[in-house]
Chain A
Amino acid sequence: MHIRKHIKKKDMRYSRYFKSMIWIISLIFIIFILSPILRILSLVSISEIFTQVLTPENISSIEITLYAAAISTLIVLFFGFPLAYLLSRFNFPGKKILDAIVEIPIMIPHSVVGIGLLFVFAESEPGGILFNYFGISFGYNLIAVIFAYVFVSGTYAIKTMEEAIKALPPRLEIVARTLGASQFQVMFRIVIPRIARSILTGGILSWARAISEVGAILIVAPYIIPGYESIAGVDVYNQFEVTGLPGAVGISALLIVISLLIFIVLKIIQGQENIFFVPRERK
């Protein structure tokens, strides 16, 4: 153990040349990802944030975005958990097809998603007629935003939870049942607590994916009646269209800062020793 640690520290396994290559190629990619973000942030001074960026319009568009993404994440987790359980525990014909369907949203261009949702839920379409019956309308409202978010972000949560449930030995559930627990008790007392961390991770991924969605929203809810506000991503696009690059900087910077802050907070929660009083998994 001692010696192995030592070797690891010295990294004797790799030549300097090989290591440099790996580092350089990796860093090019990291710089590519970081540069637009850092460039935007560099264009906004702290005083500007308070005077020009934190305008009521910007704040309300951020609010709508975070709110819709949060609701969509809850919906995704509610429907996604049983689906993940189905895919990881049950055997049935067509399971592979179902598994593939869950991944479809990743492949489809998101403007197409918007069009598709309208064709199902617009007022004259079957889903829309059903919704109308309950007094719900679709399009230019928060419901449309949430639907689009659920569609594009669900895959991430479902796949994350599916992998976690697959990694949980099925015998654990049988043992819990022999001890007297019903199937639902096993679900709530064993399975969900044991994969709590993955549920949180899946939730974070879905939430982040939802916030970044613009394509589908431009089709189903480019602005939201009654206030004619837009979700933040669309707002950036609109301001770019109207005033060019300088106009879009403020809202972009705000969006980045808020997303990163929430992301960091969630990552810290996720890294905690206990999540929902559930200790970290150990091997």
Chain B
Amino acid sequence: MIELKNITLRLKSFSLQNIDLKINDNEYFVLLGPTGSGKSMIMDIIAGSIIPDEGRIIINGRDITYLPPEKRKVGYVTQDYSLFDHMKVIDNITFGLRVRKVSEKDAMDIIKPLVDKFNLNELLDKYPYVLSGGEKQKVAIVRALAINPDILLLDEPLVSLDPNIRSRFMVELKNIHEEMKFTTLHVTHSMDEAEYLADHLGIIKSGRIIQVGKFDEISRNPVSDFVASFIGLENIISDDEINKILNVDKGKRIAFRPVDVEISDNGIEMDIEGMQKLYSGIRIMGKVNNSKITVILNSVSEIKNGKIKIKIKRFSVIQD
């Protein structure tokens, strides 16, 4: 189990404040937050390139707060992969074993299952600069896993991949994790990755973790507008009339995704301000009462005089 206890780091223009985080063994934990929220800094703190001002990092009961990076048993995969361009793929992968003086034969035995799992056999004799982004990413992950780390840190691992490769890689990553169960901390600003990959999820903003839970839990009970909009509940409205229809307490705000609506004759009237054809469906921007909302529908045949009647199928109540 990895525990961050009250980690605080004060820098000139930014600070991490009282970061508490618990990642269970074999868990895939995703830390989700916008650029500049301090995600990568938390990675650097766990990897050991930054020492926090306060707080403790405990891995399996071992306090590693002040240990040098080489003594931490942390596998670190950075956004730009950080492959050693002057070494072949095989030498990249066995680097951690070679510096530990593991014999060449033992090293090969250790990496064999990983190389097979990630399909890297063809690439072992190549230099990193001829690899594609996805291949580089796999080499970086295998290199980190080869040392059998207590935790694997993945810093925005999918951000520099092409969109189609990205989805495929995400699936592959999930499948491999389900099989091998390495404890993982993955930081990203992408809700899709969080929703698909995370066992548990933490949401970070301006150096503070503001909500932790399973994706569904957070999405049902977001603690703030920020959390709601960041996990895709794009529409946030504060309208007692609508609350009454939905049986929500007066004064509360509700949030829902654009797809969580349907056309209904006895629904709420929405004034349409604009439409955008999507690959599947139509994105409609408009207003209900005085709140701006966006919905995605399959057809627009029900529009009459620039208005449409909609029913909110699923929504969350913001918990603040």
Contact = CB atoms under 8 A, between A and B. Distances in A.
Please indicate whether A and B come from the same complex rather than being unrelated chains: yes
Interface stretch (B72-80, B169-177, B234-242, B281-289): B72-80
A245 B75 CA distance: 69
Nearest to B71: A180
From B48, B84, B86, B129, residue with most partner A Cβ within 10 Å: B86
B82 interface: yes
Interface in B13-65: 44, 47-49
Interface in B196-248: none
Q: How large is the interface on A (under 10, 10 to 19, 20 to 34, 35 or more residues)?
A: 20 to 34
B70 A171 contact: no
Interface stretch (B93-101, B160-168, B250-258, B267-275): B93-101
Interface majority SS on A: helix, strand, loop or mixed?
helix
Contacts of B95: 176, 179, 181, 189
A225 interface: no
Contacts of B78: 171, 175
Contacts of A170: 49
From A169, A177, A179, A278, residue with most partner B Cβ within 10 Å: A179
A194 B85 contact: yes
Given A185-B99, A282-B129, A177 B82 contact: no
Interface string A162-191: 000000011110111111111001000110
Contact of B144 (A177, A179, A194, A282): A179
A178 B70 contact: yes
Contact of B82 (A171, A182, A196, A281): A171
Contacts of A179: 70, 75, 95-96, 99, 143-144, 147
Contacts of A194: 84-86
B86 A169 contact: no
A4 to B, nearest CB: 22
17 contacts: A171-B49, A171-B78, A171-B80, A174-B49, A176-B84, A178-B69, A178-B70, A178-B149, A179-B75, A179-B99, A179-B147, A180-B99, A181-B95, A185-B99, A193-B86, A278-B86, A279-B129
Interface of A: 169-172, 174-182, 185, 189-190, 193-194, 196, 278-279, 281-282
Interface of B: 44, 47-49, 68-70, 72, 74-78, 80, 82, 84-86, 95-96, 99-100, 127, 129, 143-144, 147, 149
* Nearest 6 Cβ contacts at the A-B interface: A179-B96, A177-B69, A282-B129, A175-B82, A174-B49, A178-B76
